[in-house]
Structure 1
């Protein structure tokens, strides 16, 4: 039988009591998410209403930034405002630069015009 006289290597002065980590508050900022995704949706769908909503949400999230959210955020607020203004510009671009009409004869659904003899 092994004797229980072995030396205990644990030292009471080195014991660190457990401390529960502090709560981080909200899991995420929904307004910041909208201000970064709405401009992309406006560009892809060419929808003016989504472009205006992107501008409103990005300005609102930029004005509502705190110093803590500025440190934790990857992009600054003025960048999201610039992105939303650019998406609004892209949605209004066809008003200033209209597309040229298609000059091909015939259509994809109908028969082609007869060729002259």
Structure 2
């Protein structure tokens, strides 16, 4: 019976060391874009659901930052989180500070009120 060393046909000189494949930057770039544009959409549309989505995306983007992304991005992750929290505050602001009632008696499309004699 053959020994264990004779059965092993591998050659140490043919071993290729493992090299990690380069990371794809598309998903990080897309997430960064979402985390910076969703707060603006929430502010303009005054939509609370978009505001909450902005908070979730920005926190996720901030926690998923790598050293390479920090160097390449001009906006830090905590700035996106702050902007999304600000958009959430803006969307909930009418609850705490209701808008002032309109003081004009007539409407823009109706006839003007009669002038005093």
TM-score bracket for the superposition, by shorter chain length: 0.7 to 0.9
- Is 1:32 matched with 2:18? no
Partner of 1:89 in structure 2? 89
Instruction: Write the distance in 2 (CA, Å) between the matches of 1:76 and 1:109.
Output: 48
**1:1-117 superposed matches below 5 A:** 25-27=24-26, 29-117=29-117
- Rg larger for: 1
Deviations 1:19-54 (A, max 9, x none): xxxx77434621111001101111111111111000
Shift of 1:101: 0.8
Q: TM-score, normalised by structure 2?
A: 0.73
In structure 2, the gaps of 5 or more residues are 1-21
Could you tell me which residue of structure 1 aligns to residue 17 of structure 2? none
| Greater share of helix | 2
| Deviation of 1:81 (Å) | 0.3
Size of the alignment, in residue pairs?
A: 95
Residue 29 of structure 1 aligns to a residue whose secondary structure is helix
Q: Unaligned 5+ residue runs, structure 1?
A: 1-22
